[in-house]
Chains A and B, each alone.
Chain A
Amino acid sequence: MLNYNQALPEKKTFQDLHMEEIKPIMKLIIRGKKREFISAVGKSLNILLPTESNTSTQSDKLTALWLSPDEWMIFSNEPVDENTNNYETEELLKNKISKINLGAITDVSDQFVTIKLKGDKIYELFQTGSPFNFNDFKYKKGAVTQTILQKIDIIVHNQDKNVANLFVRRSFSQHLFSWMSDAASRL
């Protein structure tokens, strides 16, 4: 990523909770309705798009999150090269999807900031500022939800036990992170 400015330079560690931005993570929003679209994405990336609501699927390199019946987010499991803005995955999908009008591919790598949370108290933190019911969510590995935290739109991905990914729009990220730090210090 060229001229990359880190949104959240700080890392925060509390008792039973650690949170930091991980970057640069490639993120793509893909949209399409047809069945051919889902199978074309599956074949090109070797990943099965989740069709059940609020779920995700994972391959070695990528994770696909269900966002809406015709919308998914694909992100790289590991940080990508900092020195380029070109992603192999995006190029591949552009050729296999966009160019033949099967669906739309949008690069949102810089639009969303990825915050990784680790620890026992992730969902206790979310519960202090979100109307979403996390009771079942926290035990379901791979669960995904779009909801609001402190009035800010977020995407939460339950990656593993005590590990969650949070995606927030970049302009909200500093405010949200400082709120989360404050809330976490009082848990």
Chain B
Amino acid sequence: MFIIKCPFCGEREQSEFKAGGEAHIIRPKQPTELSDDQWAEYLFMRKNIKGIQFERWNHVHGCRKWFNVVRDTSNDEIKAVYKMGEKPPVQ
């Protein structure tokens, strides 16, 4: 359990949010030209690192907006929160 600062509503408890997986995955420009392996790589393969991870979250029981979170997966410390479309903060 931890607290996330929604960029729209302010600090809220984690149970109000839904995790949306890894952030900044770019959809291939020409999906038809990819092999099955490459397509599977884009669709399913996600990093699962111990440490700093870039994630998408949705404030599903609040303003229902998506945003990005930089979280340390080892201790759930939130390093930064930024809106969709904004550049991720440099480490």
Chain A residues within 8 Å of B, Cβ to Cβ: 53-54, 67-69, 71, 131-133, 145-148, 153
Contacts and interface: CB of A to CB of B under 8 A. Distances in A.
Given A68-B64, A131-B13, 15 more contacts: A53-B9, A54-B9, A67-B63, A68-B8, A68-B62, A68-B63, A71-B64, A131-B12, A131-B15, A132-B16, A133-B11, A146-B9, A146-B61, A147-B61, A147-B62
Nearest to A151: B15
B8 A148 contact: no
B11 to A, nearest CB: 7
Contacts of B15: 131, 148
Nearest to B11: A133
Interface residues of B, number: 13
B65 A68 contact: yes
A54 B65 contact: no
Contacts of B10: 53-54
Contacts of A133: 11
Interface in B11-60: 11-13, 15-16
Given A131-B15, A132-B13, A148-B16, A153 B8 contact: no
A146 B61 CA distance: 7
B76 to A, nearest CB: 16
Contacts of B62: 68, 145-147
Given A68-B8, A131-B15, A132-B12, A148 B63 contact: no
